[in-house]
Chains A and B, each alone.
Chain A
Amino acid sequence: MWAYILRRLFQLLPVILLSSFLVFMLLHLVPGDPAETVAGPDATPDVIKAVRQKMGLDRPLLVQYGIWLGHLSRADLGESYISKMPVIDLVGYAFPATIQLSLAALFLSLAISLPLGVLASLKQGSKLDLFVQGYTALGLGVPNFWLGILLILVFALLLGVLPPGGRIDPLQSPMMGLKTLILPALTLGIHISAVFTRFVRAAMLEVLHEDYVRTARSKGLQERVVVVRHALRSALVPVVTVVGLQFGRLLGGAVVVESVFAWPGVGRLIIQAVEQRDYTVVQASLLWLVLVFLLINLITDITYAFLDPRIRLTQGRG
Chain B
Amino acid sequence: MGAKRALHPEQHAARRGATESPWRRSVRRVLRNPAGGIGVSVLVFFCGVAVLAPFISPYDPVIQYAGDELLSPRAKYPLGTDEFGRDILSRILYGARISLSVGLISVAIGFTFGATSGLVAGYIGGRIDTLINRLWDCLLAFPVILLGIAVVLVTGPGAVNAAIAVGISNIPIFARLARACALTEKERDYTHAARALGGRQSRIVFRHLLPNALSPLLVQSAVAMAFAVLLEASLSFLGLGAQPPEPSWGSMLSYSRQFLRVAWWYGVFPGVALTSLLIGLNYFSDAVRDAFDPRQINIGR
- Contact surface of A with B, Cβ cutoff 8 Å: 14-15, 18-19, 22-23, 26, 29-31, 137-138, 140-143, 145-146, 149-150, 152-153, 157, 164, 248-249, 251-253, 255-256, 259-260, 270-271, 274-275, 282, 286, 289-290, 293-294, 297
Are A256 and B268 in touch, CB under 8 angstroms? no
Q: B142: which of A19, A157, A164 is its contact (CB, 8 Å)?
A: A19
A22 touches B267 (CB 8 A): no
A274-B282 in contact (CB<8A): no
Q: How large is the interface on B (under 10, 10 to 19, 20 to 34, 35 or more residues)?
A: 35 or more
Tell me whether A137 and B153 are in contact (CB under 8 A). Answer: no
- Closest chain-A Cβ to B147's Cβ sits at a distance in Å of 9
Whole-angstrom distance between the alpha carbons of A18 and B278 in the complex?
34
| Cross-chain contact B138 with A153 (CB below 8 angstroms) | no
A59 to B146 alpha-carbon distance, docked (Å):
28
> How many inter-chain residue pairs (CB < 8 Å) link A and B?
118
Q: Which residue of B lies closest to A249 (CB)?
A: B143
Pick from B134, B146, B233: contact of A15, CB below 8 A: B134
The DSSP consensus for interface residues of chain A is helix
In the bound assembly, the distance between CA atoms of A252 and B146 in angstroms comes to 7
- B238:A146 contact, CB within 8 angstroms: no
Please indicate the chain B residues that have their CB under 8 angstroms from the CB of A14 in the complex: 134
**Cross-chain pairs A/B with CB under 8 angstroms, 22 sampled:** A14-B134, A15-B134, A29-B154, A31-B154, A140-B282, A142-B275, A143-B230, A143-B278, A145-B237, A146-B274, A149-B260, A149-B271, A153-B264, A252-B143, A255-B143, A255-B238, A271-B149, A271-B239, A274-B153, A286-B142, A286-B146, A293-B143
What residues of chain B have their CB less than 8 Å away from a CB belonging to chain A? 134-135, 137-138, 141-146, 149-150, 153-154, 156, 230, 233-234, 237-240, 250, 253-254, 256-257, 260-261, 264, 267-268, 271, 274-275, 278-279, 282-283
Q: Looking at the assembled complex, report how far the CB atom of A307 sits from the nearest CB atom of chain B, in whole angstroms.
A: 23
Chain A residues contacting B254 (CB-CB under 8 Å) are 145
List of A residues within 8 angstroms of B240 by Cβ:
274
Residue of B at shortest CB range from A252? B143
